[in-house]
Amino acid sequence: MLVIFDCDGVLVDSEPVANTCFARALGREGLDWTVEETMRRLMGRSMKSCVEIVEGELGRALPGDFVDRLQADTLQAFRDAPLQTVPGVVEAIDAIEAAGIATCVASSGGLDKMRVTLGITGLWSRFEGRIFSSSQVPRGKPFPDLFLHAAIQMDQQPFDCTVVEDSLPGIQAARSAGMRALAYVGASHTDADALRAAGGRTFDSMSSLPMLAWAPRV
């Protein structure tokens, strides 16, 4: 068995900070999305996919240095916050691994970003060697490529994998990969109804995660 964790919003409470930076950057380009709209439209997607969506809205290409400036601003905001783990997730990981279940991380974020977010929160060293990014596959979420890549690298079959996500593209990717999808809805930015409709089993406290992770699949 394998439990695959998303990073932002599941392991690390980074979504509000990241999307505030993204909304501010979009405002400078003339796209006045609120933080909530930015989350709804972009959360859980790869940066490539986000750029394509934004350029479609603007009707023009973003500046060549847009992504580099956004990432620099976001990483600095992470350091300034500072970031913390999602409440209860460390204890949940402890219980899952104590039961002999393998774990890994698979995120739309790049490895450089995760070195910061997971590093600040002390999780990089815990998952090192088992951290996978959408930059390593042809297509990001909602396509299944990333989760299938993680399963292959961890020598697991998709049917034996459980994905823990908080975004709609992530739940869609997990289901497309043939994996069980657990949807964390304990944060204000999540849409429980949408995640449930996409095939995610919702839960609102990380204390519930170990029991869900090792429950028999039906």
- Least confident range of 58-67, 123-132, 139-148, 184-193: 184-193
Which pLDDT value is given to residue 216?
72
SS (H, E, C) 61-84: CCCCCHHHHHHHHHHHHHHHCCCC
Please give the mean pLDDT across all residues of the chain.
95
Element of type H or E holding 180: strand 180-184
Q: List, in order, residues 6 or more apart from 37 with CB less than 8 Å away.
A: 23
Which pLDDT value is given to residue 217?
67
Q: pLDDT exceeding 90 applies to what percent of the chain?
A: 89
* Nearest one of 14, 2, 1, 4 to 170, comparing CA atoms: 4
Which pLDDT value is given to residue 218?
57
Report the alpha-carbon distance of residue 1 to residue 149 in Å, rounded. 15
Reported pTM: 0.92
Domains belonging to the chain, first-starting first, are 2-13+84-213 (3.40.50.1000), 15-80 (1.10.150.240)
- If you average pLDDT over residues 105-115, what whole number do you get? 94
- If you average pLDDT over residues 79-105, what whole number do you get? 95
Report the alpha-carbon distance of residue 155 to residue 26 in Å, rounded. 40
Element of type H or E holding 52: helix 47-58
Cα angle: 18, vertex 22, 28; to 5 degrees: 150
